Copies of this chain bind each other. A is one copy, B any other.
Amino acid sequence: MTKFTVRIQEADFSLEHEYQAVLAGKAEAGAVVSFVGLVRDFNDGRNVTGLKLEHYPGMTEKALNDIVQQASERWQLQAATVIHRVGQLSLAEQIVLVIVTSAHRGDAFDACEFIMDFLKTQAPFWKKETTDNGEFWVVAKSADQDKAKTW
């Protein structure tokens, strides 16, 4: 049985706290893969100072649970945690955390990347960048769609 945790929150999260939580009482976990996404200055020339993250309450949790469920059907997982922040975030703040534990490192790597690729294309979050020249909605990348299709 995979132990799932999915949370949407304004507050910051702690990688260490969630890492210890997935390991608690799991002597059989041999491999733990974690992903943290952070706010970065990712647009050509415009000086990004932060993000506002909007989501669709209710559907977001459902979409993330569906994605984790799919991952747990494809790979042998022991626990999976997904935490995504919403609201106002500054440059270099943490946005998203995915932790996956498995007996096998290949399964943990694949499941963690699969969850991120589907989160990027299926979970209803929208980023609005705050820049020196105003606010701009982030445009979805076709590369993310293409990457999700490779699974």
Contact = CB atoms under 8 A, between A and B. Distances in A.
Contacts of A147: 106
Assembly stoichiometry (copies)? 2
A30 B37 contact: yes
A116 interface: yes
A16 B35 CA distance: 13
A43 B30 CA distance: 12
Interface residues of A, number: 32
16 contacts: A15-B15, A16-B16, A23-B38, A27-B91, A28-B41, A30-B38, A30-B42, A31-B37, A31-B38, A32-B35, A34-B36, A35-B108, A106-B113, A109-B109, A109-B112, A109-B113
